[in-house]
Amino acid sequence: MRLVIAQAAYDDLEHIKHYYLEQQLPEVGLKFVAEILNAIEKTLEYPDIGRIVPEFNQANIRELIRPPHRIVYLREAEQITLIRVWRSERLLDL
């Protein structure tokens, strides 16, 4: 199993870091990014650890909730793809 980070997810992680840097709290942004990456790495061993994303209701599109973020990933046979990282109160666009 391997981990792939989609460009949109990479941009989300950069946005998180940048937002907290603007708030003069760079350590908070780095902490969130590290926690998100640690969480998604666990899916390599336990790919079904996340719940099915309610907006899609497809078994291969899952999410981990790590307040205040939703970590959305695609579970495939050989890889996990981190798709997006959003604020947990935000609904996904269908």
CATH code of the domain occupying 2-86: 3.30.2310.20
pLDDT band at 87 (very low <50, low <70, confident <90, very high): confident
Give residue limits of the domains in the chain.
2-86
Indicate the pTM of the whole model: 0.90
What pLDDT is recorded for position 93? 53
pLDDT at 72 over 80: yes
- Average pLDDT of the chain to the nearest whole number: 93
Q: What is the mean pLDDT of residues 21-25?
A: 95
Q: Please, which residues have CB within 8 angstroms of residue 33's CB and are 6 or more apart in sequence?
A: 13, 16, 17
| SS3 of the chain: helix, strand, coil, percent, to 5 | 35, 30, 35
